[in-house]
Amino acid sequence: MSTEEQAQFLQQLAEDLNSKNIKLPSFPDVVINIRTALEDPQCSSERLADVVRTDAVLVARLLVGANSAFHNRAGIEITDLALAISRLGFEVVRNMAITLAVEQIFNASQHDALKSSIKDIWSSSLSLASMCFVIARNSETVNPDNAFLCGLLHQIGKLYILTKAQDYPNFLGDAESLSSVLDEWYASVGKLIVESWGFPDEIANSVEYEDHLIREGNASASMIDVIYAAQLILQQDDQDDPLAESTDDIIARLRLTTDSWPSVREAYDLHSQSMRQSVG
């Protein structure tokens, strides 16, 4: 890619950031309706099931999830949607609906040059979401369901950058430049997207987690810590025990140790398998 074209692309990206003109398609009605229903403290499994039934794909995925090894340790099959929702819990239903919506956004691009990169980002987003979930559950101080969303949405800025790059074909063909721009800009872009979708500050701020890290001290484990640790562990996933030589204060705050790692890893494998089964 020419230096001039790269400069044009970065200028356009900077202008989008400065004007906060960064948007991806909004969530489908079923996600909005689920959010609305869950705002009512009297919401029941039956009422939520009525909302979910408007989306056949989501119904199928909830049933698959409810019968997965992670959520169905007893092996008792459920075919009733309301019972499946009761087994999963309302927050898991919300997260599975959001996962479906984000997956559809990822799959919306028809540009051949983007398909491989988008597939890789989506796959790594699912892995990060599962790792964030099990680390948060291990910590006992961070909401695991919100941690899952943080992992799922963490790389959404990369999708926006890739879709914008469709107008710069030479940029798409320059893997090194593309990778550099993705790494440098995705967090700032992603935070604006997550904010525009109406997610709370805790989730939006986690996209730019490096700006909020507290590496030392006696602070309680936070969502930022979870994202940091999940990224670190997944980068070292080829090791039997990625925590064996860790002296990181953040890892310690999350109660991640060599002794706890086998159970965390087992939970991650089960959760990741469940997620990938449900997304098809």
What per-residue confidence (pLDDT) applies to 215? Answer: 66
Instruction: Answer yes or no: are the C-beta atoms of 164 and 13 closer than 8 Å.
Output: yes
What does the angle CA 149 – CA 175 – CA 212 come to, to the nearest 5 degrees? 35
4 residue type, one letter: E
Q: What is the pLDDT of residues 121-135, one digit of tens each?
A: 999 999 999 999 999
Q: What is the pLDDT of residues 78-134, one digit of tens each?
A: 999 999 999 999 999 999 999 999 998 888 866 677 888 888 999 999 999 999 999
Residue 249, domain member (yes or no): no
Identify the domain containing residue 43 by its residue range. Answer: 26-107
| pLDDT band with cut points at 50, 70 and 90 for residue 216 | low
Buried b (16+ CB within 10 A) or exposed e, 44-56: ebeebbebbeebe
Instruction: Answer yes or no: are the C-beta atoms of 150 and 223 closer than 8 Å.
Output: yes
Determine how many CB atoms are found less than 10 A away from the CB of residue 222. 22
| Radius of gyration from C-alpha coordinates of the chain | 20
Range scoring the smallest mean pLDDT among 46-50, 126-130, 136-140, 164-168 = 164-168
Residue 47, domain member (yes or no): yes
Residue 241, domain member (yes or no): no
| pLDDT band with cut points at 50, 70 and 90 for residue 217 | low
Residue 1's Cβ-side half-sphere holds a number of Cα atoms within 13 Å equal to 24
Residue 258, domain member (yes or no): no
Residue 216, domain member (yes or no): no
Mean pLDDT (the chain, rounded): 88
What does the angle CA 167 – CA 170 – CA 176 come to, to the nearest 5 degrees? 115
Q: What is the pLDDT of residues 57-84, one digit of tens each?
A: 999 999 999 999 899 888 889 999 999 9
pLDDT for 259 beyond 60: yes
What per-residue confidence (pLDDT) applies to 96? Answer: 94
Residue 213, domain member (yes or no): no
User: How many domains in the chain?
Assistant: 1
What per-residue confidence (pLDDT) applies to 275? Answer: 85
Distance CA 22, CA 189 (A): 7
Closest by CA position to 196, among listed 28, 24, 33: 24
What per-residue confidence (pLDDT) applies to 16? Answer: 87
What per-residue confidence (pLDDT) applies to 79? Answer: 93
| pLDDT band with cut points at 50, 70 and 90 for residue 152 | very high
| pLDDT band with cut points at 50, 70 and 90 for residue 239 | low
Instruction: Read off the tokens for 90.
Output: 């309302």
Residue 48, domain member (yes or no): yes
pTM: 0.89
Residue 190, domain member (yes or no): no
Instruction: Read off the tokens for 31.
Output: 């996600």
**Tokens 């064996």 sit at which residue?**
244
What per-residue confidence (pLDDT) applies to 80? Answer: 96
